[in-house]
Amino acid sequence: MGNSFTYPSVEKVEEYNLLALALIKVKKADSHKVLSSHKIQIAIKESAAAEGDVYAKAAVLIRALARAHAFASGNRRTAFITAKSFVLSNKGQFRIADDPHYAKVMRGIREDYYTLDEIREWIQHGKIREFKRI
């Protein structure tokens, strides 16, 4: 189950949520509240069970966390930070620029607009088609 990779702990993902909310304030009502540690654990396990390289596993992780709604606020921001940390801690290159424009891409990931292959390519190469609601 992905033994050669280092995965974040549930507690680390919860820390990333606190960090995401402190660094990237979107709404006054943003609050660090964990709704489900179990959903975080499931997302980590999905990533560990996924086939492929660090980018494929990061794609599963970012999508699973963005869709899990494990926090009251900052789910997509937390998923982004967690995936970035995962890639870098496993000696990969995270090619996505820190650009607020990519918040729309994260919305697309949550809404299942992108395939895992597209998400993988985005993480590895920093390019992805624009998110447009259908």
pLDDT, one tens digit per residue, over 101-114 is 788 999 999 999 99
Residue 134 within a domain: no
Q: How many CA atoms lie within 13 A of 44 on its CB side?
A: 19
Residue 131 within a domain: no
pLDDT, one tens digit per residue, over 41-76 is 999 999 999 999 999 999 999 999 999 999 999 999
Where would I find the H helices in 24-97?
37-49, 54-68, 75-89
- In a 3-state reduction of DSSP, which class is residue 25? coil
Continuous segment of H or E residues that includes residue 110 = helix 103-110
Residue 57 within a domain: yes
User: What CATH number does residue 82 fall under?
Assistant: 1.20.120.1870
Q: Is the dihedral of CA 104, 127, 125, 108 positive or negative?
A: positive
Q: Count CB atoms within 10 A of the CB of residue 49.
A: 11
- Quick one: pLDDT band at residue 3, thresholds 50, 70, 90? low
Domain of residue 33, residue span: 10-125
Give me the pLDDT at residue 2, please.
Answer: 43
Count of domains for the chain: 1
Q: How many residues make up the chain in this entry?
A: 134
Q: Over 50: is that where the pLDDT of 1 sits?
A: no
Residue 4 within a domain: no
Whole-number Cα distances in Å, 131 to 11, 16, 109, 112, 121: 31, 25, 9, 11, 15
Residue 99 within a domain: yes
28: CB partners within 8 A, 6+ apart: none
Residue 130 within a domain: no
Residue 2 within a domain: no
Residue 1 within a domain: no
Mean pLDDT of the chain: 92
